[in-house]
Amino acid sequence: MFSLKRTTSDNSDFNVLVTQLDAYLAILDGDDHAFYAQFNKSSLLKNALVCYENTIPVGIGAYKEYDANTAEMKRMFVLPEHRNKGIATIILNELENWATEENYSISLLETGCLQHEAISLYKKLGYTIIENFGQYAGIENSICMKKNLISKK
């Protein structure tokens, strides 16, 4: 049984999983990790989510305001041994619902080109690849995606 907890980046369970996410990304990003790490600071996120399987924290996600209409999804991660159970979908759906409650109409995200499972998931959930935005413009290893949240209201 899965449960979700809306929280902030101060949550200790969120931070334990962020540490594991950062270690995973350091391997995946290789030499580019320092560049990406500067944009993935988890402190001061007021919209963070922890997914629990029974009482065990198994996944996280968050978003922050990109602009008045747009939420940028951040810090999506599910522990490797808990993948392929639909947890990432549960987390992202809840983040999108939360963002619509706060009157955001667009969701943006960035992922690495080597994160094939994430890219497939985002496409399955209605995200489309767009031109890289903001700090990711011109970065070949980044894939940026967008989804209109209006239909969720």
Quote the CA–CA distance of 63 and 47 in Å, as a whole number. 6
pLDDT tens-digit map of 55-65: 999 999 999 99
CA dihedral in degrees (8, 82, 3, 117; nearest 10)? 70
Q: Give the model confidence (pLDDT) of 56-105 as tens digits.
A: 999 999 999 999 999 999 999 999 999 999 999 999 999 999 999 999 99
- Structure confidence by residue, pLDDT tens digits, 136-147: 999 888 999 999
Greatest mean pLDDT among 19-28, 111-120, 122-131 lies in 122-131
The position carrying tokens 């049984």 is 1
Stated pTM of the model: 0.89
| Sequence-ordered list of residues with C-beta below 8 angstroms from that of 67, at least 6 positions apart, any chain | none
